[in-house]
Amino acid sequence: MEEKDIKKRLVELLEKSYSPYSNFPVASIVIDENDNYYEGVNVENKAYPSSLCAERNAITTAITGGMKKIKKIYVIADIDIPISPCGACRQVMSEFSTKDTEIILYGTKTDDELRYNEEEILPYSFKL
């Protein structure tokens, strides 16, 4: 799937977000090391800490599907700048990234995009 099609699919996925408390839908797509494709949206809960971000939802779905490492992860929100993943998501991305992993960030109301690798998006991540 080409990146313009991935962005289009991400916009479609925003409709599946369960975000009645924040009204801030987020969607994510993970491509793994074997070019398998996984989707995720944010899923909120009235007990707020029980909520799950779209990125971690896509990553946990990918792990369930057999992913070992992220090749690319895309994230989008309905805003006028590229979305900025939270710290917890950055740490989870770090866990499953390689030096070649690409993190691509979009907003629906801008053509701007940001591209990072794991070290750029989470310098000095927690590692054992």
Among 21, 34, 65, 86, binds Zn ion (CB under 5 A): 86
Candidates 59-67, 68-76, 83-91, 98-106; binding stretch for Zn ion (CB under 5 A): 83-91
Closest to 35 in 3D by CA, of 10, 76, 67, 64: 67
Does position 89 interact with Zn ion (CB under 5 A)? The reply is: yes
How many residues line the site for Zn ion (CB under 5 A)? 3
Active site residue 120: no
45 known ligand binder? yes
120 known ligand binder? no
Shortest Å distance, C-beta 56 to Zn ion? 6
Helices (H), the chain: 3-13, 54-64, 87-95, 118-121
Does position 1 interact with Zn ion (CB under 5 A)? The reply is: no
CA distances from 40 to 28, 54, 83, 124 (A): 5, 5, 15, 26
Contact residues toward Zn ion (CB under 5 A) are 53, 86, 89
